[in-house]
């Protein structure tokens, strides 16, 4: 029997861990999942207007450690470090995925207009750039509009997932004229059932899309 692939998940906040754990349990239970949590990254990123050289170096160091422990692929679960992850991926000899690249690819292939619901403001600009870059590659006509769900991330950080999910669902219910909804962060994926209950617009989450892409990349 072949050895199961070792996938290292690198988290910048504990609230991203449960959604991806559940997604792996459902979609790829045979994978050997390793969790690395560096929870100073998220507050340090929130203090900066952009990704600094120091943050980029830290992301690179975490990627190198994942490679040292025999990982077959690395998946980052925080959406606020896109450029740093891209830099790390260029120096690695294994797949290194940004949290949302697979989800954006799926939304763009679906076509039309995408609505992004996000809860962590520092992540917005970088994610919009990532979407436009993917759209340039796959479908230049694709468009995305971003909507901040105020209070949601504070609720889930305080342990109140029910309020988080309600706020995200209420934001989704107000949307119309879009061809897909993407939930911006791994932490937001816990709201998928609540969002799908209030809208007929297709809903995409980053954990499920990322796992699908990893399976295609490494088998």
Give 100-139 pLDDT, tens digit per residue. Answer: 999 999 999 988 999 999 999 998 999 999 999 999 999 9
Please, which pLDDT band fits residue 144 given cuts at 50, 70 and 90? Answer: very high
Q: Is residue 104 a contact partner of residue 131, using CB atoms and an 8 Å limit? A: yes
Q: How far apart are CA 15 and CA 23, in angstroms?
A: 14
For residue 3, the model assigns a pLDDT of: 87
Q: ∠ CA 136-141-145 to the nearest 5 degrees?
A: 90
Q: Residues 68, 85: one domain?
A: yes
pLDDT tens digit sequence for 187-216: 999 999 999 999 999 999 999 999 999 999
Q: Using the predicted structure, report yes or no on whether residue 185 has a pLDDT greater than 70.
A: yes
For residue 56, the model assigns a pLDDT of: 97
- Helix, coil or strand: residue 177: coil
Enumerate the β-bridge partners of residue 35.
9
- Average pLDDT on 2-11 reads 94
Q: Residues 87, 141: one domain?
A: no
End residue of a domain, out of 47, 67, 98: 98
Q: Residues 81, 104: one domain?
A: no
Per the prediction, the chain carries an average pLDDT of 95
Q: Using the predicted structure, report yes or no on whether residue 80 has a pLDDT greater than 60.
A: yes
Q: Residues 37, 120: one domain?
A: no
* Its pTM surpasses 0.75: yes
CA torsion through residues 9, 74, 87, 145, sign: negative
- Average pLDDT on 154-176 reads 97
- Average pLDDT on 34-38 reads 97
Q: Using the predicted structure, report yes or no on whether residue 10 has a pLDDT greater than 80.
A: yes
End residue of a domain, out of 98, 132, 163: 98
Domain range for residue 154? 100-205
End residue of a domain, out of 81, 98, 115: 98
Q: How far apart are CA 93 and CA 40, in angstroms?
A: 27
Q: How far apart are CA 98 and CA 213, in angstroms?
A: 11
Q: Residues 87, 123: one domain?
A: no
- What are the residues whose beta carbons fall under 8 Å from the beta carbon of 60, sequence distance 6 or more? 84, 87, 88, 91
Please, which pLDDT band fits residue 79 given cuts at 50, 70 and 90? Answer: confident
Q: Is residue 146 a contact partner of residue 118, using CB atoms and an 8 Å limit? A: yes
Helix locations, the chain, DSSP H: 17-27, 41-46, 53-68, 82-91, 101-110, 124-138, 152-157, 161-173, 192-196, 206-218
Q: Using the predicted structure, report yes or no on whether residue 1 has a pLDDT greater than 70.
A: no
Q: Residues 114, 65: one domain?
A: no
Q: Which residue, among 207, 203, 128, 209, has the nearest Cα to 172 in the 3D structure? A: 203
Q: Residues 107, 60: one domain?
A: no
Q: Residues 71, 81: one domain?
A: yes
Output the domain CATH number for residue 42: 3.40.50.1860
- Average pLDDT on 26-52 reads 94
């Amino acid at each position: 029997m072949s050895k199961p692939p070792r996938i290292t998940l690198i988290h910048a906040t504990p609230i991203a861990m449960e959604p991806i754990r559940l997604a792996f349990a459902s979609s790829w239970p045979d994978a050997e999942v390793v969790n690395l949590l560096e929870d100073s990254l998220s507050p340090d990123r929130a203090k900066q207007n952009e990704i600094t050289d120091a943050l980029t170096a830290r992301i690179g160091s975490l990627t190198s450690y994942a490679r040292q422990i025999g990982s077959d692929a690395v998946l980052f679960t925080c959406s606020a470090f896109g450029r740093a992850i891209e830099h790390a991926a260029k120096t690695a000899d294994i797949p290194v995925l940004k949290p949302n690249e697979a989800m954006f690819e799926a939304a763009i292939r679906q076509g039309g207009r995408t609505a992004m619901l996000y809860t962590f403001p520092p992540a917005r600009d970088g994610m919009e750039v990532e979407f436009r870059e993917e759209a340039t590659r796959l479908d230049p006509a694709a468009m995305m509009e971003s909507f901040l769900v105020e209070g949601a991330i504070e609720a889930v950080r305080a342990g109140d997932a029910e309020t988080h999910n309600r706020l995200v669902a209420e934001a989704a219910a107000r949307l119309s004229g879009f061809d897909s909804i993407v939930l911006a962060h791994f932490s937001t994926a816990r709201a998928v059932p609540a969002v799908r209950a209030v809208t007929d617009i297709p809903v995409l989450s980053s954990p499920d899309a990322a796992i699908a892409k990893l399976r295609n990349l490494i088998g």
